[in-house]
Amino acid sequence: MSTGSIIAEADRAAAAGDLARAQALLNQAATASPADVPLLLKLAAVSKAAGQHRAALAAVHQALAQSPLDFVALVLRATLLEALDDPEAGQAWDNALARRPAGDLPPPFAAAVTQGEKQRDAWLSEREARMTRAMASSEQKADAEERQRILRFRNNVLRRTRVYHSQPTDFHYPGLVEREFHPRRLFPWIDQLEVATDAIAAELDAVMAAERAELVPYIQYADHQPLDQWRPLNKNLDWTAIHLLQNGRLIEANAEHCPRTMALLEGIDQPAIRGAGPNAMFSLLAPDTAIPPHVGVSNSRLVCHLPLVVPEGCWFRVGAETRHWRTGEAFVFDDTIEHEALNPTDQLRVVFIFDVWHPDLGAVEREAITALMESEERSGAPL
């Protein structure tokens, strides 16, 4: 009898309620086809229905040996370990749910997965409590910055947060510290910037009221260029900018109305790279507008935000950390780590934005980066 005939006979036996015969036939077929994952999962399901959980688990493990990331096999393994009251059941559910495909699941399967999520959450809570107890002494001795990193370490291990990396679109300089938000202590000018919030906001009002002011879409590129992350906002006035410095050029029509802001920028360590920097602008995000997840061009520079006009509820995510903008509270972040933003309100949001050198870079490295990027600008390559 062929393997297909044996499986068909097993299906008839199972339909008739003869699980023992169905199991025996499927074992026979699996012996002949030991790498057939659907067959092994059928054997596991029949064995489970017959109450033979250990036999079912053995079949699942054989299937996973062939296809280690098979979602159905991982879920079946988790349910079997749960039925056996095995202490590995929680982790098995965690592994299975990490492979959950997009979209709706069939109702019976969805119910099992919902129950599995409860088992996984209980296991994670117990695991987190154990880790927290073990780390308590270290956390008590840590400063605020260290405590934040310790918490993120724990959440990464628990898969509550993803690990994000710098992924610039064009210029990746090796060996630089990757941080979503960089600590204030690295930027001695940040307190002075925040003190000047009202003065900068007043100059924003002046430039917006000026007849010659230039307000342009924040994102502008030719439609044929191989870019997709910006498509919804390309040439879109929902996200606009009033540039003071743009790719190293002084935008006089705007800058002339902002003498205090320009004076502050002179004391900040911005990249001076022909065709690329420095940059400084007022960024205007229209009501009910989202900036999609994206990454920047070069990790050799960081970006500073000083919120000026921020309706309640506007947020900004870099990697796994989300912050709400607060008027006058500046921060520096790595724009080559995936980030996005949302203005969910019915009011305009305005942030002052400029770039700074990554603090890990020494003078010689800055010189080398400048030389390479300026050579690209001379060649006509996009920066």
In a domain, 239, yes or no: yes
Separation CA 382–CA 379 (nearest Å): 9
Residue 232 pLDDT class (50, 70, 90 cuts): low
Going by the DSSP 8-state scheme, the letter that residue 189 receives in this structure is T
- Rounded to the nearest 10 degrees, the angle between the axes of helix 37-49 and helix 19-32 is 160
Separation CA 239–CA 226 (nearest Å): 21
pLDDT at position 216 is: 65
Looking at the structure of the chain, the number of domains it has is 2
Q: How many CA atoms lie within 13 A of 69 on its CB side?
A: 4
Average pLDDT over every residue of 265-272 = 96
In a domain, 273, yes or no: yes
Give yes or no for a contact between 123 and 95, defined as CB atoms under 8 angstroms apart.
no
212 and 74 share a domain?
Answer: no
85 and 216 share a domain?
Answer: no
In a domain, 95, yes or no: yes
In a domain, 48, yes or no: yes
In a domain, 173, yes or no: no
Nearest to 306 by CA among 244, 217, 364: 244
Is the peptide bond preceding residue 382 cis, with omega within 30 degrees of 0?
Answer: no
Residue 230 in this model has a pLDDT that exceeds 50: no
pLDDT tens string 105-134: 988 889 999 999 999 999 999 999 999 999
Of 102, 121, 140, the position where a domain reaches its end is 121
> What are the CA-CA distances from residue 190 to residues 103, 195, 267 (Å)?
45, 9, 11
In a domain, 203, yes or no: yes
Helix (H) or strand (E) holding 330: none
The domain that holds 249 is classified in CATH as 2.60.120.330
Domain containing 91 equals 3-121
Nearest to 48 by CA among 23, 25, 74, 12: 23
The domain that holds 20 is classified in CATH as 1.25.40.10
Conformation bin of residue 319: beta by default, left when phi > 0, alpha when psi is -120 to 50: left
Of 73, 99, 121, the position where a domain reaches its end is 121
pLDDT tens string 339-371: 999 999 999 999 999 999 999 999 999 999 999
Of 72, 97, 121, the position where a domain reaches its end is 121
Q: How many CA atoms lie within 13 A of 29 on its CB side?
A: 27
pLDDT tens string 59-115: 999 999 999 999 999 999 999 999 999 999 999 999 999 999 989 998 888 999 999
Residue 210 pLDDT class (50, 70, 90 cuts): confident
Average pLDDT over every residue of 249-257 = 95
